[in-house]
């Protein structure tokens, strides 16, 4: 793949992240220019895999798309990889930055759950899904930025990424319910006597509210654990972890007693999100 093609691929990834994941796009702008394009490649791959359910008619073509990505990472994609701008940029990023392919494969495996309407069995499964889809891509981003081997950074990213994913899944509950999906763990639902029918009908029953409250507490716990590490992380890793700074305002909004999950959109205005990211980039302790 020639240099011009590589540049076009990275530019495609940058535009994709700008349009589809504005918070990670803005956070990446705080990274050194030399590494920025590799962050865009990682986050564009994340978007491509995350949105597969949205662009396929049923699970089988979704499984085929996920298998295509597995083959690409295994080096079996041949010329097709070079013609796919996200795959081309990702493969070069993996090679240039000496990244492990296993977290990318774990992400693909976790996203298989998205293709079906099966229940999330337990809190442990829920956290594993959040780790694979949020913490591990974030960890790869810290590797790109030169923080490989820093245990404090790894622990912070693990907990912070889970908190970020839990918060996002709670915010997106009405959207997921509209297409027949429930990410809330079955064991928590059962413990509080919450019914799947309430979610599908948009009924914020006391039982469902109790489930959401327990999962918000879980997100707060992971955010607190991340906060214990923030003072010791490698400074160069900060641009990769900046989105975690948005967890607190989202959780605070959902914690309000008058918040209605099926009626109120849990939105932090973009100007405030940009200010939060800028403030956290200036002083890393503001991330958590």
Query: Per DSSP, what are the bridge partners of residue 120?
Result: 185
Positive/negative CA dihedral, 131, 132, 138, 142: positive
User: What does the pLDDT look like over 265-279, one tens digit per residue?
Assistant: 899 999 999 999 999
From 251, 252, 236, 249, select the one nearest 277 (Cα to Cα): 249
Under the banding of pLDDT at 50, 70 and 90, the label for residue 3 is low
Cα(210)–Cα(254) distance, integer angstroms: 12
Cα(96)–Cα(140) distance, integer angstroms: 13
Under the banding of pLDDT at 50, 70 and 90, the label for residue 81 is confident
Residues 183-205, mean pLDDT to the nearest whole number: 96
- The mean of the pLDDT values for the chain is 93
Q: Would you state the pLDDT for residue 68?
A: 93
Cα(243)–Cα(164) distance, integer angstroms: 8
Give CB contacts under 8 A, 24+ apart, made by 31-37: 31/145, 31/239, 31/240, 32/145, 35/144, 35/145, 35/146, 37/10, 37/13, 37/89, 37/93
N- to C-terminal Cα separation, the chain? 41
């Amino acid at each position: 793949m020639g240099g011009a093609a590589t540049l076009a691929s990275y530019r495609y990834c940058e535009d994709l992240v700008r349009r589809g994941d504005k918070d990670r796009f803005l956070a990446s702008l705080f990274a050194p220019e030399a590494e920025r394009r590799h962050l865009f490649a990682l986050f564009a791959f994340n978007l491509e895999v995350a949105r597969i359910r949205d662009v396929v008619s049923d699970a089988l073509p979704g499984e085929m798309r996920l298998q295509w990505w597995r083959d690409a990472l295994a080096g079996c994609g041949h010329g097709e990889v070079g013609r796919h701008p996200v795959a081309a940029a990702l493969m070069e990023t993996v090679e240039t930055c000496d990244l492990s392919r296993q977290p990318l494969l774990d992400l693909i495996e976790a996203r298989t759950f998205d293709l079906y309407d099966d229940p999330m069995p337990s809190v442990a499964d829920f956290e594993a899904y959040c780790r694979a889809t949020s913490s591990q891509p974030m960890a790869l981003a810290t590797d790109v930025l030169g923080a490989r081997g820093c245990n404090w950074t790894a622990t912070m990213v693990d907990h912070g990424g889970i908190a970020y994913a839990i918060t996002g899944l709670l915010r997106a509950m009405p959207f997921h319910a509209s297409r027949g999906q429930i990410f809330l763990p079955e064991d928590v639902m059962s413990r509080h006597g919450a019914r799947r029918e309430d979610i599908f009908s948009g009924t914020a029953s006391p039982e469902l509210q109790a489930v959401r409250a327990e999962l918000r507490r879980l997100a707060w716990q992971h955010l607190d654990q991340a906060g214990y590490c923030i003072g010791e992380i490698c400074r160069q890793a900060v641009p990769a972890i900046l989105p975690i700074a948005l967890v607190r305002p989202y959780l605070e909004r959902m914690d309000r007693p008058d918040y209605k999950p099926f009626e109120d959109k849990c939105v932090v205005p973009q100007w405030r999100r940009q200010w939060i990211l800028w403030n956290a980039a200036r002083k890393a302790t503001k991330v958590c």
